[in-house]
Amino acid sequence: MKKTKKLMISLLTVGVLATSAAGSALAAEKEEGQWKHNKTGWWYSYSDGSYAKSQWRQINGKWYFFNAKGYMVTGWKKSGGKWYYLSHSGAMATGWRKINNKWYYLDKKSGAMTTGWLEQGSYQYYFLDDGSMATGHVEVGDAWLDFDEDGHLMKHDEQAAYDYLVLVNKTHKLPDDWESKVVLKEATNRYGETYKVEEKALEQFLKLQKECADEGIYIELDSTTRSVAEQQKLWDDWTIEKGEEYVKKYVAVPGYSEHHTGLAIDICLVVDGKRVDDNDDMIAQREIFAKIHEKLAKYGFILRFLEGKEAETGYAYEPWHFRYINDPVLAQEIMDKGISFEEYKGALE
Ligand SMILES: [Zn+2]
C-alpha cells in the first residue's frame, strides 16, 4: 500500500517538472531574478536590486515564501489560516509527505495541509487536527474508527469487533461476549512453549521483540492469554492445595484478569543465554527493562502495572506485564504522562 504513495509522489514529481518547465519560460518573459545566499539563508533578488519579502513567490513553477527580511522560509508555515510545508529546498510541498515520521497530505494545487477526510481511489484517509494521518484506533466525531498502518479506513467488517481499550481489572469484569469475539493466534517461544495472543497484539509484539533483539535485548513470551475457564480451574486447584485465604490473595478472580483479554503479555528475559523469569530477578534488571519500556508505545503497548500506582491498578509493580491497546499515539501519551490505565479510563468517563 505504501507503493501507492511512492507512485503518487513520483507522478507528482513528473507533474511538477512539467509545470516548472512551463514556469521558467514564463518567468523569463517577466522579471529576471536570481537566487542569492549568505550565512543566514537564501533570498531572491531582482535585477533592479529589490527582492521578495513577506510574500509568496512562484519561481520556476514552484512556490516559495520569503519572510519579512526577505529570507526563504523552510518547514511549516501558517499563512492565511492554513498550514503549508516548505521543503528543504524552500519549494512548497504538495501531495503526500512524510515529515518526522508522520504522513501529511498537502493539497496538490494550493499546497494547504489537509485535515479531516480525504478520499483517494477506493481509500478513505483521515487527518487529525495537526494534519497527521490517522492510523490505528481513532476517535472521529462520535465514533471510534480503525485505520490500517497505511491510513486506509478499514471497512466495517474489518473494524475491530472488540474494544482494544477494554478495562479489565479486579473491579471490572471481562465483557461476557469477549471470548467469543477475540481473535487469538499462536506463537512459540525459543523454549518451544506455545502461547495464544490476540492477533494484532502478537503481530506488534513480534516487531517489538525484533527491535529489542537488534539491540541485544532478548525477550520471550512467558504468560499470555488465560481463558476464564482456565482461571477457574486454577482457582479451584489452588484452593484445594493452599486454602481459600491464599487463593484470594494471590490468584485473580476468574473473569477479572486482564490476561483473559488476549491483550496482555507477560515476558521473560534472556540474559547471557539464561532465562530470567523470577519476579524479583526481573525487577532487578532495571536497565534492560527501561530500554524495553521506551519501545512499548511505538508498537501500541503500555506498561500496565506501574511503580507507585499499586492503589490504582490493584497490582504491585510488574515491569514484565505489557498491555496492547492498538494505538501507538495514545500509548505514547499514557506512557509519557506516567498514568495508570485506570486513570486514563477514569478520565474518559
Ligand atoms: Zn501479567
Q: What is the DSSP string of 60-83?
A: TTEEEEE-TTSPBP-EEEEETTEE
Q: How many angstroms separate the Cα of 160 from the Cα of each of 119, 126, 135?
A: 22, 17, 14
> Does 312 participate in catalysis according to the annotation?
no
**pTM for this entry:** 0.57
Q: 185 is written with which cell numbers?
A: 493466534
Q: Can you list the pairs that 72-81 forms with residues at least 24 positions away whose Cβ atoms lie under 8 Å? A: 72/41, 72/42, 72/43, 72/44
Cα gap 104→85, rounded to integer Å: 10
3-class state of residue 2 by DSSP = helix
Residues across the chain: 349
pLDDT on residue 161? 77
Ligand 1 centroid to 320 CA: how many Å? 7
pLDDT on residue 20? 39
Which residue numbers in the chain have pLDDT < 70? 1-31, 156-160, 347-349
pLDDT on residue 121? 86
Q: How many angstroms separate the Cα of 305 from the Cα of each of 2, 147, 309, 311, 322?
A: 36, 28, 7, 10, 8
pLDDT on residue 18? 37
Ligand 1 centroid to 266 CA: how many Å? 5
Which of 179, 203, 312, 318 is flagged as catalytic?
A: 318
pLDDT on residue 16? 39
pLDDT on residue 110? 95
Contact 198, 263 (CB under 8 A): yes
Ligand 1 centroid to 281 CA: how many Å? 16
Q: 153 is written with which cell numbers?
A: 479506513
Ligand 1 centroid to 347 CA: how many Å? 24
Ligand 1 centroid to 250 CA: how many Å? 13
pLDDT on residue 158? 64
Ligand 1 centroid to 160 CA: how many Å? 23
**Burial tier of 39 (Cβ tally within 10 Å: 0-12, 13-18, 19+):** exposed
